[in-house]
């Protein structure tokens, strides 16, 4: 992409929007875009006032998948892992089409909203490829049974089916979703993401229960939780929700 910025970064208030910027190639994931997106997500660790990250695509298509001539599997793995482990709520705003590696991007996000007439799919099998790198992230949203069907057929599907599968958030209004996120305690949301990223259910019941009880005790003693409880009792908005 000579003389073209691979990623447009736009911060408005507490929301950081990261726009894939290769519309000529339908925002195919190449090394430049993936590197820029990873760097931008890592950079958010410096800004405590941010409340959400939105990932979108410039032009008529969100993401057509990996650039078959210019992508590295390990680079996509690193990017998807960084999205999952990001302490901020992440939202994919999808339009036009979301295919292959793009499905990995949205499944790594906490929320997915889509504009009307968006199409989704895993077309790798139709060119003799397999969606191996994105599998662990797709499994965050879909059951193994549905993954099997969609991976093997390579079929495309619309918003309605994406919502029924559990990929899409039930509302498509991005501003309303951000507003709901901002009503929650920012530290509580970070702790929730950290908790859900742990393999807590693989532990013995006693170890699991001890860890969860200790976590609740720590949260209750924190200034954010104290403020939240006080605001509830005093029938007012907490400081972070104003």
| Domain segments of the chain as ranges | 7-178, 185-241
End-to-end CA, the chain: 42
CATH class in words for 185-241: mainly alpha
Which pLDDT score is estimated for 172? 86
What local confidence, expressed as pLDDT, does residue 23 receive? 95
Strand 90-94 relative to strand 52-57: parallel, antiparallel, unpaired?
A: parallel
CB atoms < 10 A from the CB of 184, how many?
16
Q: What is the CATH number of domain 7-178?
A: 3.90.226.10
Q: Hey, how many other C-beta atoms are within 10 angstroms of the C-beta on 119?
A: 18
pLDDT at 1: 43
Task: Report the distance separating Cα 1 and Cα 145, nearest Å.
Answer: 39
* pTM given for the model: 0.94
Residue 3 has a pLDDT of: 61
The pLDDT assigned to 242 comes to 61
User: Tens of pLDDT along the chain (242 residues)?
Assistant: 456 899 999 999 999 999 999 999 999 999 999 999 999 999 998 888 999 999 999 999 999 999 988 888 999 999 999 999 999 999 999 999 999 999 999 999 999 999 888 999 999 999 999 999 999 999 999 999 999 999 999 999 999 999 999 999 988 899 999 999 999 999 999 999 999 998 888 889 999 999 999 999 999 999 999 999 999 999 999 998 76
């Amino acid at each position: 992409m000579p003389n073209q910025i691979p990623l447009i970064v736009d911060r408005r208030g507490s929301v950081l929007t990261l726009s894939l910027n290769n519309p000529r190639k339908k925002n195919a994931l190449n090394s430049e875009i993936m590197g820029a997106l990873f760097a931008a997500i890592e950079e958010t660790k410096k800004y405590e006032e941010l409340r959400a990250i939105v990932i979108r695509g410039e032009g008529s298509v969100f993401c057509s998948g990996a650039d078959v001539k210019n992508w590295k599997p390990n680079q996509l793995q690193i990017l998807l892992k960084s999205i999952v482990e990001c302490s901020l709520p992440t939202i994919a705003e999808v339009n036009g089409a979301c295919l292959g590696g793009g499905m990995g991007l949205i499944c790594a996000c906490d929320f997915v909203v889509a504009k009307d007439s968006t199409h989704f799919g895993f077309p790798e099998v139709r060119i003799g490829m397999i969606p191996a790198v994105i599998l662990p992230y797709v499994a965050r949203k879909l059951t193994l049974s549905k993954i099997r069907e969609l991976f093997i057929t390579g079929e495309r599907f619309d918003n309605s089916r994406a919502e029924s599968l559990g990929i899409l958030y039930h509302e498509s209004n991005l501003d309303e979703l951000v507003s709901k996120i901002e009503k929650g305690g920012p530290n509580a949301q970070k702790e929730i993401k950290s908790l859900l990223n742990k393999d807590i259910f693989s532990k013995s019941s006693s170890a699991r229960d001890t860890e969860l009880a200790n976590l609740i005790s720590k949260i209750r003693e924190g200034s954010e939780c104290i403020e939240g409880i006080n605001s509830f009792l005093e029938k007012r908005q907490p400081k972070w929700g104003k």
